[in-house]
Structure 1
Amino acid sequence: MKEQGVKDLGKKILSEQATPEERKRFLEMEEMRNLMKRQWDSSDGKFADAKVEKRMWKQIAGQCKLERSHQSRRIALLCCAASIAALLVIGAFYFTGGNKNIDRMEYVSVVANEARVLSLPDQSKVWMQPGSTVRYAQTFNEKRDVWLEGDATFEVTKQAGRTFRVHIAQAFIEVKGTVFHVNNRNKEMSKVILYNGKVDFHSQADGRVVAMKPSECLTYHSNGDIVMNEIGNIYWQDGMYKFAYTRLDSLIGTIKEVYDIDIELAADIPGHYLFNGAIYYNERPSEIAEKICYTMNLKYKRENGKLIIYKPKEIKKLKSN
């Protein structure tokens, strides 16, 4: 691979879009070691721009889990010369954009300690679940890219000719204006649920692109497998999931997908019971179960880590008489 290919792969690593296989291949490339040696020799181990050095080291140290003190920087650069030096050389071009635009890769990172709504610079909204993190560049209005760790629903503002991307592990979702949910908590499996509009799911492992339709759930496994399911009638409005004449068995299946909770119906409850109502995005599992039970005159209990919805005994006796 030529040096330009080395730089392109280095950019993917710095932007956290490279797969584990690409990272491994990068460290083993002969061209990378040659590029590192020439650049390191010519710079005498020093950087012309201290700001670039500091910013790139912060990004690299985060990936390598290294200490950030000056001494540990020197030790790490000596011990990991092949990988670190090449990343710094490539990163200098990537971070400055070739024209000394130092702030091009500055990020805004938002952590949700509790359920919250984040308004992005383009007026798109992100309904974040607790423990989730959303990151985007300060130059977001130039390129609408967002990185998600965790669980969130995106309400994307449509802008002519400008796509919106949500990056997750080894994949990204591309849209123009729509509402969809992304669960990226489990590193072995991610889920995307589309409520309205259209999205394209891009697998970076094999280059596949899957076009999704409303009421579809896509499950993406870390081995590259993709599974598609229907989630039934569900609508999104201002932080609420709205259900209209939805079968109870379909409702429970949808709740499992959207809220990632273990809930099921007892064997004696007919699945054709119809549910009408709304559930807020930040309701706890017990609150969801209580709402379903209240509207349908049922009960729920916890059993072996599951929420089980069942018929109260008095209802059974009344019907038997």
Structure 2
Amino acid sequence: MDRTAFRELLIRYCDGSATAEEMALVDHWYEGLYNDKLPILNQTDLDNIAQEMWEHIEKEGNLVPPLTVYRSTNRKRLYYFTAAAVIIGLVISGWLIFFSSTQTFSYDKSRKKDQLAENVNNTTTTQRINLEDGSYILLKPASKIAYTQHFGVNKREVYLEGEAFFQVAKDAARPFYVYTNELVTKVLGTSFDVRAFPHDNTIQVLVHTGKVTVYKRKTGAAEQELAKANAAIITPNQQILFNRQQVSFTRSVITQPQVINTPVTKDSNLFVFTNTPASAVLKALQDAYGIPIIFDEELLGHCSFTGAFTNETFFERINLVCKAIEAVYEQADGQVIITSTGCENATE
């Protein structure tokens, strides 16, 4: 466990979202540190408790609590620790308690530091910005973008505050980075949207074509490498929502997926099916939209579907198939999951 994972565990402990095992582990660390001889609760002690706990963990290793710790009901200890952990999440005199050297990012700081060129859209219409590498940006109203006039030999970087669509020219040797205050979006060549207004609680990255990597923006090199290792990858018709308050990612299918793959064929009736195995219908939809659809291929291969899709949305089409084969669907982590126990129209 590293410091980042430790801090996230403390946050879950305090907000009640930690598992029983995680809560027991934190209790065990605390008991190992103080042996139930609690310090007098004052501001200085609160500021240092988390650091002391981390040093204890580093010294003793990743301690595994005995089963008896799960039954711990020492509410006094819990009070002290919770108070300390809450302080970890607060900014005191401009310093984060757990990482005293951590600084926050801002669009203006980044622009001034690197003396970047800037485009600000104060109009009510979208503005197009052409970049030297052949990429272009559609900057939405009340948004601004900063970038160097000439990209470097190893990477292409822009800084965004607000909302923009990016059509990035492919260049495998020079990845394209979009920085917002909290996130880094990295691509090689693709099209996507980023929405990151300062007043919004959520940052959204939505992919139209290609593949996009999204990860947290960190100051330290080691922390940044760790964030990269845990990056989220999204593909067409998927999106990432980053919750600023919870510091968490959620991957999902976008609201209105669009067809991205149309087979080269003379048959114009691509979505007309007659007694077609449901598994084949779902595969056709998966190929057309690029959205992973998870189902029992053997089971649904015995169910048939007859119908023609015209102007329905992706989810309306999925729903029609599910009704025909007596199945239900849900979406999770950017995928559609089909659940079925079989169907009356099963074929031998």
Interval containing the TM-score (normalised by the shorter chain):
0.3 to 0.5
Give the structure-2-normalised TM-score: 0.39
TM-score by length of 1: 0.42
